[in-house]
Structure 1
Amino acid sequence: MILIYLCILSLLLWILLLLHPDQRYLFNDILPKKSSLGEIPKVSVVIPCRNEELVLETTLKKILKVDYADYEVILVDDCSTDSTYKIAKDYLDTPHKIIPGKEVLEGWAGKMWALQQGVENATGEWILLSDADIIHSDQSISQLVSLAFRENYDMVSVMVSLSTKSFWEKLLVPAFVYFFKILYPFKAIRNKKRKVAAAAGGCILIKREVLANIGGIAAIHGELIDDVALAKKVKSSGYNISLWLAKDICSVRDYVGVKDLWAMVARSAFTELKYSYIRLLFCTFGMCLLFLFPVICVLSSNTMLMCFGLVTYLVMTITYLPAVKFYDIPLLFALFIPLIGLLYMLMTLDSALKYTFGIRAKWKGRSYKN
């Protein structure tokens, strides 16, 4: 009987997600096309770079060809030990700038310190914070700026399209965005009356004046999940923000094996739970309820349990199909959603375990305090 009740509860939760007005599972929040601009504000594209020799040449070629009349690229070489600085020198000259980064200050996250140095050297009315692995489309800056002006947004962020070449990327990358959209429904983020706030750190356009008014990058200087922290600062200060999906703005960073993807998620999963073991307990139970119990019911010899399990599995799969379609991968991968949910649960538990035993999160050779 307990399993039946749990499966019924799981089914009701999946139906709630399916019918919820926020449409958390849908992938229809596509970045609108550009519209005509009455004015062309200057945009400073700030790119923090640490050991990015594998991707930098490709991404710089694209950002230097965008169709926008007034912009500058400010690349901050964050103490790289590879050929990052040399590649930047080969491609960037006036009006663009290369800032040799200083060693990270105590209490600052490395990326935040690099962004701080870049913003200090920016001269644009708008700041575009862009990761080094992002390939911009010809229209990307125009799209972002025209949308900000048309809808009176003070900050516009884009969840760029991630690589789905390898098996593990196909299995886990769409789910990364799927779970992010469930936690932070994009529709609610764009609603001025809702408190929900989030951004995607790879591509954020923000008005320079707004960034200054919230305290600048220094206001989030030690944050591990810096993009969400920035969005919360901006929205709670009364400004309008939005988050969108984009197919033609994409990342060229590959996660060939499960190890890299696991590290990416585990690096900040327990941080998302605010280092709370009570939240971890509820999260673990919730993930088991949503993804594990329906499968157990399907495999049961009890006919009623099997029926409830199959219906729950069907609804679960339907909610995941938009993510699979968006990334143009075989629809068969939607059937793996229970396994995917279990893997993400294990990543979260691993994140908590590392925190408990004082194993600090690492990114690009740097350790971060939790």
Structure 2
Amino acid sequence: MLSLTVGSGVVAFFSICIAIAFLRVLMVTRWLTAKNPIDDSPRCVDVIIPARNEEQDLRHAVESIQKQRSVSIRVVIINDHSTDETASIAKSLAESDDRIGVINDPTLRDGWFGKANAMQHGLAATSQSLLIFTDADVLHHRDSFAEAILEMERREDHFLSLFPTVELESFWENVLVPHLMIAGMVAFLHRRLEDPRSPHAVAAGAFILVQRDALEAIGGLESVKNEALDDVKLAQRIKQNGYQTGFCFAPDLIRVRLFKSNRDAFWGFTKNILSPFNPVWLAIPFMFLPIFVYASPLLAIAAGLYQHETLMVAIGIFAYVTQAIVLVPATRLCRLKWYKALCFPIAALPITCCIIKAYYHHYIDRGVKWRGRVMQK
């Protein structure tokens, strides 16, 4: 039982370290807010929206784009072989607004993942020097485009990505997303993110503003054609080629619900979960990490109560509380429901299942499965 006490102590220590690292991330990363910009010379921008089976969200997302102020927009919706009503919704939007065009079922090129392929087709259909890539389920504040463009010009960026408010509804969304979001930010948001001499760069696919010259200089989306983390890799490629990249938290400007159901949330990280590991077998020991991290405190509490070991119970409770406290600053970026989010220890189950499923697709299908389609590398 000593191992449970020690394990809980280790978990508490590392939870405190992660909390400190996450607070540092929140402090050093740029924040962009709505300031009602007034611009007498609105910028022209082409907006590219890849959409696959987005019937629930596409109309609301596009309507929020149509309401943008202080910018002149053209929108291209790429219906990526959807099997629901996405095509008809896109068609009706285009028929009601001549600023909107639709590309249906673009040819899927060999070696390309669906989203990157759709984005490349959208890029070929546009002409403006400024481009915005945004997802079909993102809702935009009426000044989000103008604020982003002004920020890009002020900082002399060639590439700027905004991170949204993440809305959480279902049980598994609240259990999984906050801690994984925190872990991802601690891993990717390096303190030298803004240093042009540093290789570190990051992006969120919800909103990417990029200068066409910089994107075309790296061959468009070609360099990320089969990357599961296409947004992050795109930012890195841009920066590697000598262009300035930027990243801002913008919870007041854009918001998104990543997963639309418990099932989607449970399996939702399958596509990306192997991406940080090279070679991919390194994810095998990672499978056991969530079990250790989340189970140790609970087992220590249970064993301590059974054996009347007050110290073990106290350390187990302390470890659980430190894990829960990390969620407090995360509320600046996600709208969680505490009565669901506090069940985070069972996140070990879907994480393990997602890794196993990702391995299956990697070795059996030789690719990545997303939205009912296997993309082979």
Please classify the TM superposition score into its range, dividing by the shorter chain length: 0.7 to 0.9
Secondary structure of 2:294's aligned partner: helix
Instruction: Identify if the C-alpha distance between structure 1 residues 255 and 121 changes in structure 2 by more than 3 Å, giving closer, same or farther.
Output: same
Q: What are the superposed Cα offsets for residues 232-288 of structure 1, whole Å, 9 maximum, x if unpaired? A: 21222332221424244223665222x2112221122123323522x2244234334
Partner of 2:241: 237
Q: Does residue 1:323 correspond to 2:330, yes or no?
A: yes
Conservation of the 8 A alpha-carbon contact between 2:365 and 2:374: no
C-alpha contact 2:152 2:158 (8 A) present in aligned 1 = yes
Equivalent residue number for residue 217 of structure 1: 221
For structure 1, which runs of at least 5 residues remain unmatched after alignment? none
Q: 1:340 aligns with which of 331, 339, 347?
A: 347
Matched, 1:292 2:295: yes
TM-score (norm 1): 0.86
Distance 1:333 1:323 in 2: 15
Query: Would the aligned equivalents of 1:360 and 1:369 in 2 still touch at CA under 8 Å?
Result: yes
CA drift at 1:108: 0.9
2:54 maps to 52
2:204 counterpart SS class? coil
Q: Which residue of 2 is the match for residue 106 of structure 1?
A: 110
Q: What residue identity is the alignment partner of 2:228?
A: L
Alignment of 1:178 with 2:185, yes or no, is no
**Cα separation, 1, equivalents of 2:137 and 2:287:** 33
User: Quick one: distance in 1 between partners of 2:207 and 2:71?
Assistant: 19
Aligned pairs (5 A) from 1:25-64:
30-34=31-35, 35=37, 40-64=42-66
- Report deviation, 1:99: 2.7
What is the CA–CA distance in structure 2 between the aligned matches of 1:207 and 1:159, rounded to whole Å? 19
- Aligned partner of residue 343 in structure 2, secondary structure: helix
Deviations 1:6-62 (A, max 9, x none): 333323222222333862478986433345558543211011123333322222222
Aligned to 2:8: 7
Matches within 5 A, 1:1-370: 1-20=2-21, 23-24=24-25, 30-34=31-35, 35=37, 40-92=42-94, 93-185=97-189, 188-192=192-196, 194-238=198-242, 239-251=244-256, 255-257=260-262, 259-277=263-281, 279-301=282-304, 302-324=309-331, 326-358=333-365, 360-369=367-376
Partner Cα distance (2:234, 2:286) in 1: 24
* DSSP 3-state at the match of 1:199: coil
Amino acid of the structure 2 residue aligned with 1:256: S
Report percent identity of matched pairs.
Answer: 23
Shift of 1:225: 1.8
CA contact (8 A) 1:320 1:337 kept: no
Provide the C-alpha distance between the structure 2 equivalents of 1:219 and 1:260, rounded to a whole number of angstroms: 28
Give the Cα–Cα distance (whole angstroms) in 1 for the partners of residues 183 and 315 of structure 2: 24
CA distance in 2, matches of 1:320, 1:253: 18
Q: Secondary structure at the match of 1:129?
A: strand
Q: Distance in 2 between matches of 1:137 and 1:329?
A: 20
Deviates more, 1:192-201 or 1:143-152: 192-201
Find the aligned partners of 2:328 and 2:34 in 1 and give their Cα distance: 25
Q: For structure 1, which segment, 101-110 or 186-195, has the greater mean C-alpha deviation from structure 2 after superposition?
A: 186-195
Q: Report the residue type matching 1:79 in the other structure.
A: H
2:12 partner amino acid: L
Question: What amino acid sits opposite 1:48 in the alignment?
Answer: P
1:326 positional shift? 4.4
> Which one-letter code corresponds to 1:310 in the other structure?
I
Amino acid at match of 2:131: I
In the alignment, is the contact (CA less than 8 A) between 1:156 and 1:242 conserved in 2? yes
> Cα gap change, 1:30/1:337 in structure 2, threshold over 3 Å: closer, same or farther?
farther
Take 2:332 and 2:49, find their aligned partners in 1: how far apart are those partners?
31
SS in 1 for 2:326: helix
5+ residue gaps, structure 2, are none
How many angstroms apart in 1 are the aligned matches of 2:183 and 2:165? 15
Between the two proteins, the alignment pairs up a number of residues equal to 368
